[in-house]
Structure 1
Amino acid sequence: MPKLKGLKNVEKPDLVLDSGDAFQGLPVSNHSKGEEMAKAMNKVGYDAMTIGNHEFDFGYKQLLKLQKQLHFQMISSNIYKNGKRAFKPSTIIKHNGVRYGIVGITTPETKTKTSPDAVKNVEFKDPLKSVEKAIKQLNGKADVYIVLSHLGIEKSTKQQWRGDYLTSKLSNDKSIQKPIIVLDGHSHTVIKQMNLKRKHLK
């Protein structure tokens, strides 16, 4: 995290975002049930994150506690608890005159890829429908849409739950008139550097 903060100070990015599974994995984070990582992310100055399956590893109540500790939005458009939306589906961040509409989405595989007790009475609705609904609810208030996706592209994952499926469908949705960027995580897949209008992405 200190290196990331240093990089942020040098590069001065418009946004610092996370596609999920931020609180679990390192010994210091696991020992504190994610609280030390939440502090570190606050110090870096994150703008938003979505919820990954491992955000539930320390229990649903702990996830809500971590949410309160963050100085930025933790969002997901398809998580419902007891029939009601559990988290904010999106947030709008304005930077240098640009309004970024940021939408979160969480893999339905969470039901089988975290502690069963942590997701009791929790429902993960269809990713594509949830993202489309969240974008419509932003009602043209954004200049650019960014989808923080924790779906992944594993071949073993149901097609409708994959990040590449979501990206393909959104890119062909003519009702969405603004640019859409999908930042996907979950499957830890290495992808060779891609081109965007003949320029390499960093």
Structure 2
Amino acid sequence: MIKWVSFIVASGVLGFTAGGFASHFPGSSNDWASWVQAVGSIGAIVGAFLFGDRDARRRRAEGAAARQNLVDFAVLQVEQVSQCANTMSYRTFIQAWEETLRPSILQARRAIAVIRLDELGSPEAVFEFAAIQLSLDQYDELISDEIRKGTDGSETRRTLISIADLWAHTVGEKADTLARIVGRRRWSVQWDGRQESSQNQFAEEHV
């Protein structure tokens, strides 16, 4: 749309200049000098408009890329929680959650909080982004609540794995949808289909 507007403006200015030149053909050196000055001024105005438009589009693209990077950072932190829950022992995971994992989640929450909703471009993008923010809050609390129960054992560990896996899947899916809406590409979350049963079990128990 902006390209067409720029083309129409440039064509209109060129047509106006050509018409004026044809109807007032310069007959002296002074007339030629005036025409050269006028054409130069018009060219400078058109150039400023076109280059300004290109610069604005570049800034919008850079802003969209920066927002996508923040969302990807949040997904990466959640994916790290899922990986640790699946590979660490119960006690080791609790220590990692308190010392590194949860602080990283809180950092991700603060990072995406700076994104302005009016810059996302559509109600659909706002909805998906809000879902990501809500997920970061809710699943953080679910894991923290489960840990606060203080119940050691395989059942608690399986519950934590289910929460973490469902969290990673939910956030990754929402981030993929958001990226498609705003026309950006993002890294793909590697989702292990073998974890699907634990997701479904947790979802059925808590929905």
- TM-score (norm. length: structure 1): 0.24
Larger radius of gyration, structure 1 or 2? 2
More helix by share: 2
More strand by share: 1
RCO comparison, higher one (Cα < 8 Å, 6+): 2
